Amino acid sequence: MGYSKILGIGNALVDIITMLNDDQIIRSLNLPKGSMTLVDRAMSERIQKEIANEKRMLVTGGSVANAINGIANLGIPCGFLGTVGRDELGKLFEEEQKNQGISPLLIHSDLPTGRAVGLVEPDGERTFATYLGAASELHPEDISQERLQGFDIFFVEGYLVYNHALITAAAVAAKTAGLTIALDLASYNVVEANLNLLNELVDNFVDIVFANEEEAKAFTGMEPLEAVANLAGRCDIAVVKIGKEGAYIQQGTHLYHVPAAGDLVVDTTGAGDFFAAGFLSGIAKEYDLEKCGKLGALLASRVIRVPGAKLAEETWVEIRKIEQNL
């Protein structure tokens, strides 16, 4: 039996990962620490000037795009739907997807390819300032049944919730096509700003929901154990990640706690994305939920050891060996 095929939809971005010595730049820019803030082009350029003398690296990113990269490296057939510019960063994004074995269902825009400046403090906490650029040009009519055809799981990036028409159209189209819908709640400030729509999506469309502790609190008003139970009563599978304490997973009345798989932290960028990658790959391979969670924790533990959300091939070889014995 073949694996389920996974399609991700989200913001196609290039991450500018910047390692800071302290939080002075974050405070001077008045960015909410530990979250993702949408900024306009002028603000993005101002931030890039502020960090010009800091240690930086360019990696293709976007929350769901990161997860799809992880899913592809675990051998799951997958694709990514998003919008890039007709520029060098857009070419970089598309070529990297192809190189990873991802089917790039990309739409091209005249706007610049989106970029996310990731400001990483010494303890690994990251704060993102994101200029969407071309990524904002994804429209409801781009979510066609033709593009969904052949896929079984549809992974939706919570950051898309700012475009109410788009995320609603995506949920309706995927549900009509009979796909399992997974949603990541993205960031606590995203949840707070879009609470009503997210409630509607989770209650009526979503099968699997991912949240970290802060997002779960913003969404339900509850602490992790109560939050995961609340969410599991509203969709099929709920996952609440609790950092170094691991994650709670609940389906119906069945509750699991999966411990974190490591404590070495260089940069937490991509930790939640890679947890989702491991978990959804486990679902695609028909693992039990506890093993899905362990695979998610394994991927998260490896990505936080490096700057950015990309792993070396030798790390993937190690992960695939460990997976066989989870």
155-197 confidence digits (pLDDT tens): 999 999 999 999 999 999 999 999 999 999 998 999 999 999 9
Q: Residue range 39-54: average pLDDT?
A: 91
Rounded to the nearest integer, the mean pLDDT of the chain is 94
Q: Residue range 297-319: average pLDDT?
A: 92
Question: Nearest CA to 154 among 247, 280, 26?
Answer: 280
pLDDT in tens, 211-229: 999 999 999 999 999 999 9
45 inside domain: no
Sheet with 114-120: list strands edge to edge.
Answer: 36-38, 126-131, 114-120, 13-19, 55-61
Question: Nearest CA to 19 among 122, 93, 116?
Answer: 122
Strand, coil or helix: 221: coil
76 inside domain: yes
* Residue percentage of the chain with pLDDT more than 90: 80
pTM score of the predicted model: 0.89
113 inside domain: no
Q: Are 122 and 20 in contact (CB under 8 A)?
A: yes
Host domain of residue 204: 6-10+63-105+137-323
Q: Rg of the Cα trace of the chain?
A: 18
pLDDT at 315: 96
40 inside domain: no
Whole-angstrom CA distances from 151 to 6, 155, 232, 310 are: 6, 11, 24, 24
Strand, coil or helix: 81: strand
39 inside domain: no
Residue with tokens 């950051």: 159
Q: Residue range 279-299: average pLDDT?
A: 97
80 inside domain: yes
Of residues 309 and 290, more confidently modeled: 290
pLDDT in tens, 113-163: 999 899 989 988 889 899 999 999 999 999 999 999 999 999 999 999 999
Structure tokens at 44: 């993005």
Quick check: 82 pLDDT over 90? yes
Q: What total of structural domains would you count in the chain?
A: 1
Quick check: 31 pLDDT over 80? yes
* Burial class (CB within 10 angstroms; exposed 0-12, middle 13-18, buried 19+) of 15: buried
196 inside domain: yes
d(CA 245, CA 231): 19
CATH number at residue 208: 3.40.1190.20
Quick check: 269 pLDDT over 80? no
145 inside domain: yes
Strand extents, DSSP E, the chain: 6-9, 13-19, 36-38, 55-61, 78-85, 103-109, 114-120, 126-131, 153-157, 180-184, 208-212, 237-241, 247-251, 254-258
| Confidence at 1, pLDDT banded by 50, 70, 90 | very low
